Amino acid sequence: MIKVSPPRFSKVIIALLFVFYLTPVLSQDIPTDAAVIAQGESLFNANCKTCHRVHQKLVGPALENVYNRAPSIDWIKSFIRNSSAVIASGDEYAVKLYNDYGKTQMTAFTGLKDDQIMAILAYIQDETKKGPPVAAAPPAADGGGGQQGVPTPYLNAILIGMVIILILLVVILGFLVSALKRFLDQKSLSEEDREVVHSPITLGTITRSPGFAFVVVFIVGSLGFKAVINGLYSVGIQQGYAPKQPIAFSHKLHAGAYEIDCKYCHVGTLKGKSATIPSVNICMNCHSAVKTESPQIQKLWAAADWQPETKTYGPNQKPIEWVRIHNLPDLAYFNHAQHVVVGGIECQTCHGPVETMDVVKQYSLLTMGWCIDCHRKTDVNSKGNAYYDKLVELHNAAGKKPMKVEDNGGLECAKCHY
């Protein structure tokens, strides 16, 4: 029988406590609640995802396991709130990290509360445990939206079919004519009629007949008419327009490969009418340190008047002269926030798969018909929007189908025209 004497017992407890202290207890403080993890995920996506991934190095380090390698949870909290203060204090770990990442300044998140940071860590811990995701198959390119009309292969098939039918018709008519001739020959015809029946069909007789003249005029007339209509319909339409830009900025790289959120750069889409093109300092959040040797990035530095030695902006900043691609005429009013925030419509519905484009092009027609068509087809996104509760209730009481944008005035001239 093992007997533990009281003094030995307390030593065991002390030893146990010591072991507990040494093993990284850090991660045990991190919540594992599903709700907290979900909150952490949205905080992470909104604030950190532009520079960090859990399993992949981006502008900043991959954050998997960071709670075990960083000096402490408190260190992480102060680093997130104000990394430059931690670096300036001479903290060895922070200084090394800063140098390893090309002296890139992490944004200071002074507003993040303790429990919000813990939620972000909860999300990181959860993702760390899940391991890196298996690469998913790329989504099929969406052919809908802006593309209009019949695809060329179908058109060709239809044309070939029509030609075959025409040839068959000519052959059948030929048979009919000779059968008729034989039939008439058996009758007793006057000399005059016999001449008509046996008059030879030559190119000359065909081209001189009034029927032929009519067919030719008809074909030429309809082709000309179609060309004029097509021309009129395409006045002012710039679908497919993809001008060369002063800096070879690629959406395929930034929004595609690096998954930077569209709204990180086009902040205007959340606030109002214009989507806005990002100013140089948004680019400089990364490019003060990323790919600095590239001549394209040097152009960026010139525009920002960035002084790499002193890491400051000089006085001679000038905006980059991006060429505007989408442009409605002044008579029309279009508001991004109304569609993106209130309507909940994805950018890609109107702009196509921008994240696969090296050079952006105008994907949709941007005609009045295009706007109206969508307002006829699309349901109003009334979920969680108290503003619509009463309207939807009234609409449902009176009607049958879900409320479309057109039921809410989406076809009224004055909504879109000044």
Q: Which of 274, 281, 307, 396 binds ligand HEC (CB under 6 A)?
A: 274
- What minimum distance in Å lies between the beta carbon of 324 and ligand HEC? 4
* Binding segment (CB under 6 A) for ligand HEC, from list 13-21, 196-204, 368-376, 390-398: 368-376
- What minimum distance in Å lies between the beta carbon of 328 and ligand HEC? 4
Residues 302-361 that bind ligand HEC (CB under 6 A): 322, 324-329, 331-334, 336, 338-340, 342-343, 345, 347, 349-351, 354-355, 360
Burial of residue 230, with CB atoms counted within 10 A of its CB: 0-12 exposed, 13-18 middle, 19 or more buried:
exposed
- What minimum distance in Å lies between the beta carbon of 391 and ligand HEC? 10
Q: Which of 83, 125, 128, 288 binds ligand HEC (CB under 6 A)?
A: 83
- What minimum distance in Å lies between the beta carbon of 131 and ligand HEC? 18
> Which CB, 184 or 268, lies closer to ligand HEC?
268
Residue 304 CB partners (closer than 8 Å, separation 6+): 280, 281, 283, 284, 313, 317
Q: Judged by CB under 6 A, does residue 409 bind ligand HEC?
A: yes
> Which CB, 197 or 391, lies closer to ligand HEC?
391
Q: Judged by CB under 6 A, does residue 271 bind ligand HEC?
A: no
> Which CB, 184 or 239, lies closer to ligand HEC?
239
Q: How many CB atoms lie within 10 A of CB 295?
A: 8
> Which CB, 30 or 97, lies closer to ligand HEC?
97
# of chain residues touching ligand HEC (CB under 6 A): 103
> Which CB, 339 or 395, lies closer to ligand HEC?
339
Q: Judged by CB under 6 A, does residue 81 bind ligand HEC?
A: no
Residues 42-71 that bind ligand HEC (CB under 6 A): 47-48, 50-52, 59-61, 63, 66, 69-70
- What minimum distance in Å lies between the beta carbon of 19 and ligand HEC? 25
> Which CB, 184 or 289, lies closer to ligand HEC?
289
- What minimum distance in Å lies between the beta carbon of 361 and ligand HEC? 9
Residues 115-154 that bind ligand HEC (CB under 6 A): 120
Residues 228-257 that bind ligand HEC (CB under 6 A): 236, 245, 247-249, 251, 253-255
C-alpha span between 63 and 123 (Å, rounded): 11
- What minimum distance in Å lies between the beta carbon of 207 and ligand HEC? 45
Q: Which of 78, 305, 378, 403 binds ligand HEC (CB under 6 A)?
A: 378
- What minimum distance in Å lies between the beta carbon of 134 and ligand HEC? 23
- What minimum distance in Å lies between the beta carbon of 144 and ligand HEC? 11
Burial of residue 153, with CB atoms counted within 10 A of its CB: 0-12 exposed, 13-18 middle, 19 or more buried:
exposed
